Amino acid sequence: MAKIFKFATGDLISYDWPFWIHLGRSIRIFNFSDPFHFPTVFGFPILMSWYPLHLITAFIGSFMRLDSAFVLYVLNHLAHYLLACVFCFLYFQSFGVVAALFGAIALAFASTFLKLHAYFSYSLAWFCFCLWQHDSMLMIPGIVLILAGGNLPFFVYTIPILFFLNPLYTIFGIIGCIPQLFVTYKFLKKTVRKKATYEEKSIGSIPPWHFLSLIFPMKVSLNGVLYNEIAYFVGRPVMLSCLFAGSSYWWIALLASSFLMMGKYVKAPILARCPNRLAYVQTIALVHLAVIGISTLPHKFQVVLLILQAMEIIFVCSKFMFPHPFLEHAQKPSKAFKTPLTEHLNANLGHYRVSGLPFPLMTGHVNGFRTVGYCGGSMLAEDAEYRNIPNNGDGNAHDWFYCSEDSHKVDDYGIKYAYMPFRDLDENKWEKTKLKYLWRNKNIHD
């Protein structure tokens, strides 16, 4: 069980899980607002606020101690990968037991989908369910759950696949998604990303040489995107099995997705930000071709390839889940969220705001601290303008103090404390506290 806490790092412990904690507390008092960090609860898909199992576990977790709640969150996240594996096996079983198991583990545990963010496992699990149930009306709620799972780009890029398999049920599924799509659209059209240029949307474009990583997995970050975010290694046994697939429409999906992944390098049209996300389709196509190919081989060769694929997942694909050395040191939430800084703010912050909270406190959800607010690629354009943050479609400044630390707006916004480890602040406006890096605004009085 102690190994569960190695997941207490990165965005999982600093963004996803804290909001889940807040969501559970919100359900208990039936007040779905966020006064601490995010500008919306239901408009931002990656918050997973529409997903029933996420809501149920959040409610249960709200009655638990922090460490126990964290274990519940991670187990729910990982269980969805197993669920995806089961659904894939049932989908591929017409190709034989070994081929089905090969395809199931290849798709469910590809580096493309193995991430710390739970919205990857949630959406993937229900996509695999839709593959299995593509001839059944159960596909309709499955499509709704893909979107509710939180991975909007995955939903957008995989809908054409489901439409090809069953146009009618896919249309009904999209109709079922209208409430969430409407709320999401209303939010996204107000964000800085709405004005993003082609160049800004092209981050994550994959240069042609990088496709060598399908054979020789690379940990190379591109255009400011970490290597784990652009990973799409699916296993060399998969690539080998594809050679025996023969003619199939999946080759069209593979070639089209690979071309669009290259984005600006081939002047390809960019359907949405980060062309590398077309790797979702590329991986799905590769696995389908591999299952077709392996099913044509003698049984003993199938077993060998299955064993080799399992080894690839354990020793290669799984390593992309934790992007070392770009991860913070993992520690139990009970320790990470109870520090001298949190105790000082608990005693002195009151209803005011604090800027620049360090990892993993950034969102303020766990401790109930009001922060400056979310600042990133989907921040509200009006917030970016008010806070003097360059509106470049990517929200590149993640703290007010990169831009205008002494503006009167800091006072108007109620920023009482600022955590600033990079430099000293103006002592005419700010005074040092007894805690290192923590400054108090002299213009705000209790």
Residue 168 lies in domain: 2-321
Looking at the structure, tell me whether residues 293 and 407 fall in a common domain.
no
Looking at the structure, tell me whether residues 253 and 347 fall in a common domain.
no
pLDDT category of residue 1 using cuts at 50, 70 and 90: low
Helix residue ranges, H only, 189-317 = 198-201, 236-242, 250-261, 279-294, 299-315
Residue 392: per-residue pLDDT: 47
Cβ atoms 192, 392 nearer than 8 A: yes
Q: 326 lies in a domain?
A: no
Q: 328 lies in a domain?
A: no
Q: 329 lies in a domain?
A: no
Q: Is 215 exposed, middle or buried (0-12, 13-18, 19+ CB in 10 A)?
A: exposed
Looking at the structure, tell me whether residues 11 and 92 fall in a common domain.
yes
Query: Residue 354 pairs with which residues in a beta bridge?
Result: 371, 417
Residue 114: per-residue pLDDT: 96
Amino acid identity for residue 88 in this structure? C
Pick from 321, 349, 373: which residue ends a domain?
Answer: 321
| Cα 74 from Cα 3, distance rounded (Å) | 11
**What are the backbone dihedrals phi and psi of residue 441, each rounded to the nearest 5 degrees, phi first?**
-75, 120
Residue 413: per-residue pLDDT: 86
Q: 214 lies in a domain?
A: yes
Pick from 321, 355, 372: which residue ends a domain?
Answer: 321
pLDDT category of residue 172 using cuts at 50, 70 and 90: very high
Amino acid identity for residue 402 in this structure? Y
**Predicted TM-score of the model (pTM):** 0.95
Pick from 294, 321, 348: which residue ends a domain?
Answer: 321
Residues 395-443 have pLDDT tens digits of 444 555 555 556 678 888 899 999 988 788 888 889 999 999 999 999 9
| Cα 287 from Cα 184, distance rounded (Å) | 31
Looking at the structure, tell me whether residues 244 and 387 fall in a common domain.
no
Torsion angle defined by CA atoms of residues 303, 305, 311 and 316, in that order, rounded to the nearest 10 degrees: -160
Q: Is 45 exposed, middle or buried (0-12, 13-18, 19+ CB in 10 A)?
A: buried
Query: Residue 417 pairs with which residues in a beta bridge?
Result: 354, 440
Looking at the structure, tell me whether residues 419 and 283 fall in a common domain.
no
Question: Whose CA is closest to 157, among 293, 292, 284, 298?
Answer: 284
Looking at the structure, tell me whether residues 238 and 356 fall in a common domain.
no
3-state secondary structure of 386: helix
Q: 270 lies in a domain?
A: yes
Number of domains in the chain: 2
